[in-house]
Structure 1
Amino acid sequence: MELRETELPGIGRKYSLCTRSGEKLVIVVHNDERRDIFHMDPDEPDELLSIVTLDDEEARVVAAIIAGITYKPKFLENQEIALDSLIIEWIRLEPMSSCIGKQIGELDIRRTTGTTILAVVKKDKTNQINPGADYVFTAGTTLVVAGERKQLNQLKNLLLNGML
């Protein structure tokens, strides 16, 4: 993620960020405590897709939700506790992930990382349980994977950066 901060004299402060998925957000925090959130077109950086204006209270509520302060899925908490050192995790494949277009077998995931891909959830919310070695990774899908913390970190590095 790339984050830039700019002072806007007489207005407030501007934050520009590009996410791993290529989305661009511009957030302006006004001196009167309003927040404007601009969602920019990733293909046309000067084109605005949407804007949301929040007052101070609304911004704090949204921030708490996004930060996970108000809710953490109980399923995830229970899985980590119930399964001891085995962790089940969800990994979203972004367009810039180095595994895009490659097969599970080609990356030899189980042998190189010790993890198992339990399921693939596609953008349209359809899923594939226990995908085989010939499954081809696509951007925007979410993998449900299992392994120990160190193994999962290796898997993330392999999928996202092409290295262990």
Structure 2
Amino acid sequence: MGTRRTSLPGVGAQYDFTTETGQHISVVVHHDGRRFIGFYEQDDPDACQLSVPLTTTEATALAHLIDPAPIDAVRTEGIDLVTEHIPLGSRSPYGGRLLAETRARTRTGASIVAVLRTHSAHPSPEPDFRLAIGDTLVAVGTREGVDALSEIIAEG
């Protein structure tokens, strides 16, 4: 199962994946935190069978049911910080390049606080850490900053 992220300018981001049984599921995450989960026809990925709106609290509760230990948003005196896993896919221009080359914090304000590999974790990676296709970047920042970082990692 692979997850595809699509930027929705002015809205947020859409995450699509297909289960092993061929069911297409989509989650739309709005900049304001609202989420919608959609279920699509197997033979027509554009035909939505059902769309369920979720508040941030409901999305968190659902995540806890699916994975009892997801990474949650951290709320700090009215400022929302989020922690998100960002996959470094085969289309990313950063595979094989140094972490510093992303200029993540300078460009987005979001920080890459760890890099997860298949059999290892690299907390607090240094700027000279070499990224690899298949890595998962753990990012912390505002919703807007983390969304921007996801786009940069995916597209350059």
In structure 2, how many angstroms separate the alpha carbons of the residues matched to 1:93 and 1:116? 15
TM-score (norm 2): 0.55
Q: As a proportion of its length, which structure holds more helix?
A: 1
- Tell me, in whole angstroms, the C-alpha distance in 1 between the residues paired with 2:21 and 2:87: 24
Distance (Å, rounded) in 2 between the aligned partners of 1:127 and 1:104: 15
In structure 1, the residue corresponding to 2:154 is in which secondary structure?
A: helix
Q: Which moved more, 1:95-104 or 1:147-156?
A: 95-104
Q: Contact 1:121/1:141 (CA < 8 Å) preserved in 2?
A: yes
Alignment of 1:10-159 (within 5 A): 20=4, 70-76=65-71, 79-80=72-73, 82-83=75-76, 85-124=80-119, 126-159=120-153
- Secondary structure, aligned partner of 1:111: helix
Q: Which has the higher strand share?
A: 2
Total equivalences in the alignment: 106
Aligned partners of 2:131, 2:74: CA distance in 1, in Å? 30
* Contact kept? 1:99, 1:158, Cα under 8 Å: no
* Superposed structure 1 runs of 4+ greater than 6 Å apart: none
What CA deviation, in whole Å up to 9, does each residue of 1:4-38 have, x standing for no partner?
Answer: xxxxxxxxxxxxx9865xxx988579xxxxxxxxx
Q: Structure 1 length as normaliser, TM-score?
A: 0.52
The alignment partner of 2:66 has SS state of coil
Number of the residue aligned with 1:4 = none
Aligned-partner Cα distance in 2 for 1:137–1:109: 13
- Indicate if the aligned counterparts of 2:64 and 2:70 stay in contact, CA closer than 8 A: no
Unpaired runs of 5+ residues, structure 1, are 1-16, 30-66
Q: Distance in 1 between matches of 2:64 and 2:116?
A: 26
Unpaired stretches in structure 2, ≥5 consecutive residues = 5-17, 24-61
Q: Output the CA distance in 1 between the equivalents of 2:21 and 2:121.
A: 34
> Could you tell me which amino acid in structure 2 is paired with residue 101 of structure 1?
G
1:82–1:97 distance in 2 versus 1, CA, 3 Å: same
Q: Which structure's CA Rg is the greater one?
A: 1
**Could you say if the C-alpha distance between residues 86 and 161 of structure 1 is closer, same or farther in structure 2, counting changes exceeding 3 Å?**
same
